[in-house]
Amino acid sequence: MTERVGFSAGRVGTIALNTFTESVRQKVYYILLIFALVVIASASFFAQFSFSEQLKFVKDFCLGALSVFGALIAIIGTAQMLPAELENRTIYTILAKPVRRGEFLLGKYLGSVCLVAVSLLFMGLMFGAALWFKEHRLIAEALAMAESTPADELQHTLQQIRAEALDPDILKGVLLIFVKLALLAVVTLLVSTFSTSMVFNVAVTVMVFLAGHLRGVATEAWGEMLWVRALLAIVPDLSAFNVADDIILGNVIPWGHVGKVALYGLVRTVILLAAAHLIFSRREI
Residues contacting another protein: total by CB under 8 A: 29
Residues 22-41 touching another protein, rule: CB under 8 A, are: 22, 25-26
Rg of the chain over Cα atoms, rounded to whole angstroms, equals: 22
CB of 104 closer than 8 Å to CB of 94? yes
CB of 229 or CB of 282, closer to another protein: 282
CB of 95 to another protein, least distance (A): 6
What is the C-alpha separation between 190 and 33, in angstroms, rounded? 25
When asked if residue 250 is in the footprint of another protein (CB under 8 A), the reply is no
CB of 123 to another protein, least distance (A): 23
Cα-based angle 257, 259, 262 (whole degrees, multiple of 5):
110
When asked if residue 46 is in the footprint of another protein (CB under 8 A), the reply is no
Quick one: residue 228, left, alpha or beta (phi over 0 = left, psi -120 to 50 = alpha)?
alpha
CB of 21 or CB of 42, closer to another protein: 21
Residues 80-109 touching another protein, rule: CB under 8 A, are: 88-90, 92-100
Cα 258 to Cα 37, 120, 140, distances in angstroms = 26, 18, 35
Return the range that interacts with another protein (CB under 8 A); candidates 8-16, 145-153, 158-166, 202-210: 8-16
Chain contacts with another protein (rule: CB under 8 A)? 2-5, 8, 10-11, 14-15, 18, 21-22, 25-26, 88-90, 92-100, 282, 284-285
